[in-house]
Amino acid sequence: MTRIKEVAALAGVSTATVSRVLNGKSVSPGMESAVRRAVAELGYTPNRTARSLRRQHSELIALVLPDIENPFFTSLARGVEDVARAAGLSVVLCNTDEDVDTQEHYLRIADDENMAGVILAPAGPSALLARLAERHRAVVVVDRAVPDDVDQVLFDNVDLGRRAAQALVDRGHRRVACITGPRATPTAKARADGWREALHEKGLPAPDDLLVYANYRVDGGETAMAQLLAAPEPPEAVLATNNLVGVGALRVLAAGDGPHAQLGIIGDLPFVTSPIDDTFLLQLHPREMGLMAARMLVDRIRGEAGPAQRVIQPSRPVMLGAPAS
C-alpha cells in the first residue's frame, strides 16, 4: 500500500503539504498540481478510517431537508455540495418529508456515525441539536429558525410576507388573500404574520377567511386557490408564501375557472414566464443559502470558535407579467 511519505517524495513536498491538499486546504497551485499528479501516478488512497479516528469524526456531513423534490431545496443542496466537495467532504442527503421523527432518526445516525457536521432545514423542533453541539459536531440550520444556540442562515420571513403583500396593495388591491404552509411550519406562520401586518398598516382587513393553510406543495396551492376563488367574495389578489404553492395557484388561475386574481409569490419558480399576465415574485436565492451554510459548517469543522452566527439572506422583487391596468 502506497504511503503518504511516498506521495510527498514523488511530488517534492512535505507530508504536511500532501495532507493539506487532501484535506482541501489552501496551498500554492504548483504544489497542489504536483501532489495530485503524484497521487494519481501512485494510485494513493487515503486511509479514511485512520483519519477519522485521529480527527474524532468522519469526512461525511449530513444534509437533512424536508422535501428534496422542492426546487428550492434542490438548489440549496447544490450549493452545499459545491462547497463540501471543494473541502474534501462528502454529503449524505436525507429527506424527512416534513416528519419530525424521521428528522430525529437522521440526526441520531449523524451522531452515531461520527459525521463531521450537519446542515438541517428543520421539519420541527429537535431534541438532538443540543446533543450534537455538546459532542462538538458542527451544526448549521437553514431556512427555518430554531431556538438552539447554533449557526443559522435564514430569511426574514415576516419581512418577506410584509413586502410581498405590500407590493400587491401598492398595485391597487384591497382584498388580498394569503396561502401559506402548514400551521406548524415556522416559515408559514412568519410569512402569514407579515401579510397580516402589511394589510393592517394600510388600514385593510385581514380576516380569517382570506388566510388558507395548505401543504407546501403544488396540490396544496391548487386546493387553496380553488377554495378562495369559490368564496362568495373572492380576493382581488393572492399571496402564495412558497414556490410550489405558487405553481398550484397559477395552474388554477390559468385554467380560467374563476375570477382573475393577481398573484404574488415568495420563492423561485421552476419556469421563467408566468401563464397569466400579472404576477409578482419575491425571489429567494437558495443556492447562495447553501453556499453560505456549507462555508460556515466547514469553518466550524476546521476548528473556528466563537458565538453562534445568525445570517439573514437577501431577496429581490421580480415582475413576471405586465401590471394591472
Does one domain contain both 142 and 224?
no
Write down the pTM of the prediction: 0.77
Domain range for 301 is 55-154+286-313
pLDDT at 229 over 60: yes
DSSP state of 40: H
Residue 222: inside a domain: yes
pLDDT at 325 over 60: no
pLDDT of residue 2: 78
Give mean pLDDT, residues 33-58.
Answer: 70
Residue 8: inside a domain: yes
How do the residues of the chain divide into helix, strand and coil, expressed in percent and rounded to 5?
45, 15, 40
Does one domain contain both 166 and 202?
yes
pLDDT of residue 21: 84
- Confirm if 277 and 301 have CB atoms less than 8 A apart: no
Question: What strands, in cross-sheet order, belong to the sheet with 316-319?
Answer: 211-213, 176-180, 237-240, 262-266, 279-283, 316-319
Give mean pLDDT, residues 175-197.
Answer: 94
- Confirm if 222 and 252 have CB atoms less than 8 A apart: yes
Q: How many residues does the chain have?
A: 325
How many domains does the structure of the chain reveal?
A: 3
pLDDT of residue 24: 64
Does one domain contain both 20 and 124?
no
**pLDDT interval class at 269 (50, 70, 90):** low
What is the Cα–Cα distance from 262 to 279, expressed in whole angstroms?
Answer: 6
Residue 318: inside a domain: no
Share of the chain above pLDDT 90, in %: 63
